[in-house]
C-alpha cells in the first residue's frame, strides 16, 4: 500500500527532485517495488494504447458532410423564421396602429356627440340615458358640463370659518343696500305683501 | 510550425475559405471524438458532442484571438460540451418516467469494431464513470490526450498543483478498480 502510494505520487509528478531521486534509487534496490512499478507502468501504457484502437473510419469521413448539412439546415431555419417574422411583425404593428387610431377616432366622435347632447338636450335624465348608451365616461362628462352651469360650490373668494361665510372681498365694493334703488311706494307694497 | 499552420488555416477560414475549416476538422476530429467518448462512455453521446463542437468551431472561429494554441481553444469547447452533456444526462435520469436509463436510446453502432478492444474500452469506461468529474477529466487528458499539466491547467483553469492531486487520486482509484479480481 505504501509502495502503491509512492508509485502513484511518482507518476503524478507530486514528488520534488530530491524525493524523485530517493524513489528511483529505491526502485533499483527493491525487487518488490520494481515489479509493482513495472506492473502499473504496463497498465498505464495499455490504457494509453486504447486511443489507437481500430475504428470505423467511415464515421469520420461522414462527419464533415454531416456538419455542413446541419449548418445548412440551421441557416434555412433562420431564413424561414425571418420569412415568417417579417409579415407577422408588420401585421402586429398595423393592428396596433389601427386600434390606436380607431380608438382616438371613436373618442373624438363621442366627445362631439356629448357636446351636442350637452348643448341641445335640456332634460338631464334623457341626456344621461342617451349618453350612457355610448359610454359611461361621456355620461360623467355630460354631468360635469351640466353641473358647471349651475355651480352651487363656494366661490373662491369666500372662506368658511366657524360655520359662517366671510366675504373676502372689500366690503365697500359690495352693493349691500338694494333698498336704495327701490322707491318708497314699491317698498310699501313689498312690506304689505310680507305682512 | 503546427501552431503557425493552425493559425494560417483559421485566418483562411475567416477570410471565407471553407476548405480551411475542413482541414481543421480532419486534423482535430479524432481528438475531439475520443475526449468526448472517454468522458461520456458511449458512442452516441460522443457523436452528439463531437458534432456540437465542430458546429461551435465553425461559428466561433472568427472570435479566436491567436493568443493561445488552437487545440487548447478547441479542448475548452470539448470539455465544456462534455460536462454539459453529463449534467444533462444526470438531470434527465432524475425525471422518473420520461427518461430513465432503460429508456435511453440504445444504438448498436459503434466505431470500435474489434470486440476485444471494445471490451477493454468498456472496462476502462466503467472505472472512469466512478471517478468524480474533475479526476476523470485530468486522467483522460493526461493518459489519452497526452497533455501536460500546464496545458490542462490552461484548458480547465485549475492550478497545476490541484491537477496533480486530482490525477494522483484518479490513478489510485482506476488502478485499484482495474486490478480488482
Which DSSP letter does residue B3 get?
Answer: H
Instruction: Indicate the residue of B25, B143, B168 with minimum beta-carbon distance to A48.
Output: B143
Coil, strand or helix at B150: helix
Between the alpha carbon of residue A108 and those of residues A13, A105, A132, the distances in Å are 86, 5, 16
Q: CA torsion angle for B125, B128, B133, B134 (degrees, to 10)? A: -130
In the structure, what pLDDT confidence band is assigned to residue B148 with cuts at 50, 70 and 90?
very high
CB pair distance less than 8 Å for B55 and A67: yes
| Å between A96 CA and nearest CA of chain B | 37
**Cα angle B20, B21, B24; round to 5:** 90
pLDDT (0 to 100) of residue B180: 80
CB-CB neighbors (< 8 A) of B171 in chain A: 8, 11-12
Query: Across chain B, where does the E strand assignment appear?
Result: none
In the structure, what pLDDT confidence band is assigned to residue B1 with cuts at 50, 70 and 90?
very low
Instruction: Indicate the residue of A46, A60, A71 with minimum beta-carbon distance to B30.
Output: A60
pLDDT tens figures, A45-77: 988 888 788 888 899 999 999 999 988 888 777
In the structure, what pLDDT confidence band is assigned to residue A190 with cuts at 50, 70 and 90?
confident
Q: Is the pLDDT of residue B126 over 70?
A: yes
Between the alpha carbon of residue B160 and those of residues A17, A139, B72, B74, B171, the distances in Å are 17, 81, 16, 20, 16
Does residue B123 belong to the interface with chain A, where contact is any CB pair within 8 Å?
Answer: no
Mean per-residue pLDDT, B37-48? 92
pLDDT (0 to 100) of residue A98: 84
Coil, strand or helix at A49: helix
- E strand or H helix that includes residue A165: strand A164-167
- Residue bearing the bigger pLDDT, B74 or A195: B74
Shortest CA distance to B111 belongs to which of B55, B29, B178? Answer: B29
Helix-helix angle B160-179:A2-11, to 10 degrees = 130
Question: What is the domain partition of chain A in residue ranges?
Answer: 2-52, 64-194
CB pair distance less than 8 Å for B143 and A44: yes
In the structure, what pLDDT confidence band is assigned to residue B138 with cuts at 50, 70 and 90?
very high
Q: Is the pLDDT of residue A83 over 90?
A: no
Residue in chain B nearest A14 by alpha carbon: B164
CB-CB neighbors (< 8 A) of B174 in chain A: 47
Residue to substitute from B111, B120, B122, interface A, most A β-carbons within 10 A? B111
Radius of gyration of chain B from Cα atoms?
Answer: 18
Which grid coordinates belong to A81? Answer: 423564421
Domains, chain B, ranges and CATH? 1-108 (1.10.1740.10), 112-181 (1.10.10.10)
- CA pair distance B75, A14, nearest whole angstrom: 25
pLDDT (0 to 100) of residue B7: 92
pLDDT (0 to 100) of residue A189: 85
| Å between A12 CA and nearest CA of chain B | 5
Q: Give residues 72 to 101 of B whose Cβ lies within 8 Å of A.
A: none
Shortest CA distance to A119 belongs to which of A144, A146, A140, A139? Answer: A146
pLDDT (0 to 100) of residue B2: 53
Interface predicted TM-score (ipTM) of this complex, two decimals: 0.81
In the structure, what pLDDT confidence band is assigned to residue A79 with cuts at 50, 70 and 90?
confident
pLDDT tens figures, B73-105: 999 999 999 999 999 988 888 776 555 555 555
Shortest CA distance to B28 belongs to which of B78, B80, B100, B93? Answer: B78
CB pair distance less than 8 Å for B146 and A48: yes
| Å between A20 CA and nearest CA of chain B | 15
CB-CB neighbors (< 8 A) of A66 in chain B: 51
Report the range of poorest mean pLDDT among A177-181, B89-93, B102-106, B117-121: B102-106
- CA pair distance B127, B175, nearest whole angstrom: 9
Residue to substitute from A1, A9, A38, A53, interface B, most B β-carbons within 10 A? A53
Specify which of A47-56, A133-142, B46-55, B112-121 reaches the highest per-range mean pLDDT: B46-55
pLDDT (0 to 100) of residue A11: 94
CB pair distance less than 8 Å for A64 and B22: yes
Residue in chain B nearest A65 by alpha carbon: B22
In the structure, what pLDDT confidence band is assigned to residue A21 with cuts at 50, 70 and 90?
very high
Q: Which residue has the cell 527493491?
A: A30
Q: Is the pLDDT of residue B5 over 50?
A: yes
| Å between A54 CA and nearest CA of chain B | 6
Report the range of poorest mean pLDDT among A96-105, A138-147, B116-125: A138-147
Q: Are A139 and A124 in contact (CB under 8 A)?
A: no
pLDDT (0 to 100) of residue A154: 53
pLDDT tens figures, A126-167: 766 666 655 555 555 556 655 555 555 555 555 555 555 444
pLDDT (0 to 100) of residue A76: 79
Give percent of chain B above pLDDT 70: 90
Report the range of poorest mean pLDDT among A176-190, B74-88, B96-110, B166-180: B96-110
pLDDT (0 to 100) of residue A125: 72
Q: Is the pLDDT of residue A103 over 60?
A: yes
In the structure, what pLDDT confidence band is assigned to residue A13 with cuts at 50, 70 and 90?
very high
Q: Are B163 and B152 in contact (CB under 8 A)?
A: yes
Q: Are B37 and B144 in contact (CB under 8 A)?
A: no
Amino acid at each position: 500500500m505504501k509502495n502503491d502510494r509512492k508509485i502513484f505520487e511518482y507518476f503524478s509528478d507530486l514528488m520534488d527532485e530530491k524525493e524523485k531521486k530517493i524513489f528511483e534509487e529505491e526502485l533499483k534496490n527493491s525487487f518488490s517495488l520494481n515489479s509493482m512499478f513495472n506492473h502499473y507502468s504496463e497498465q498505464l501504457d495499455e490504457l494509453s494504447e486504447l486511443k489507437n484502437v481500430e475504428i470505423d473510419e467511415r464515421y469520420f469521413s461522414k462527419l464533415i458532410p454531416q456538419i455542413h448539412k446541419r449548418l445548412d439546415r440551421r441557416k434555412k431555419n433562420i431564413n424561414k423564421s425571418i420569412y415568417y417574422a417579417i409579415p407577422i411583425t408588420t401585421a402586429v404593428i398595423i393592428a396596433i396602429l389601427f386600434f390606436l387610431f380607431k380608438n382616438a377616432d371613436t373618442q373624438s366622435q363621442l366627445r362631439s356627440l356629448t357636446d351636442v347632447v350637452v348643448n341641445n338636450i335640456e332634460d338631464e335624465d334623457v341626456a344621461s340615458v342617451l349618453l350612457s348608451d355610448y359610454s359611461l365616461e361621456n355620461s360623467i362628462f355630460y354631468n360635469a358640463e351640466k353641473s358647471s352651469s349651475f355651480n352651487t360650490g363656494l366661490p373662491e373668494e369666500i372662506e368658511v370659518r366657524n360655520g359662517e361665510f366671510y366675504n373676502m372681498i372689500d366690503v365697500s365694493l359690495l352693493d349691500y343696500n338694494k333698498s336704495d334703488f327701490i322707491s318708497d311706494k314699491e317698498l310699501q307694497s313689498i312690506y304689505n305683501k310680507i305682512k | 510550425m503546427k501552431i503557425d499552420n493552425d493559425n494560417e488555416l483559421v485566418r483562411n477560414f475567416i477570410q471565407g475559405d471553407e476548405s480551411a475549416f475542413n482541414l481543421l476538422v480532419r486534423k482535430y476530429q479524432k481528438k475531439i471524438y475520443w475526449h468526448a467518448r472517454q468522458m461520456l462512455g458511449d458512442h452516441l453521446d460522443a457523436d452528439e458532442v463531437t458534432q456540437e463542437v465542430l458546429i461551435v468551431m465553425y461559428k466561433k472561429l472568427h472570435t479566436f484571438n491567436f493568443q493561445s494554441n488552437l487545440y487548447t481553444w478547441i479542448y475548452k469547447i470539448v470539455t465544456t460540451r462534455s460536462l454539459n452533456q453529463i449534467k444533462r444526462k444526470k438531470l434527465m435520469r432524475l425525471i422518473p418516467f420520461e427518461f430513465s436509463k432503460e429508456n435511453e436510446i440504445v444504438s448498436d453502432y459503434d466505431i470500435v469494431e474489434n470486440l476485444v478492444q471494445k471490451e477493454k474500452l468498456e472496462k476502462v469506461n466503467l472505472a472512469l464513470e466512478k471517478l468524480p468529474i474533475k479526476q476523470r477529466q485530468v486522467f483522460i487528458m493526461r493518459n489519452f490526450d497526452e497533455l501536460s499539466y500546464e496545458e490542462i491547467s490552461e484548458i480547465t483553469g485549475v492550478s497545476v498543483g490541484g491537477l496533480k492531486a486530482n490525477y494522483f487520486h484518479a490513478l489510485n482509484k482506476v488502478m485499484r478498480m482495474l486490478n480488482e479480481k
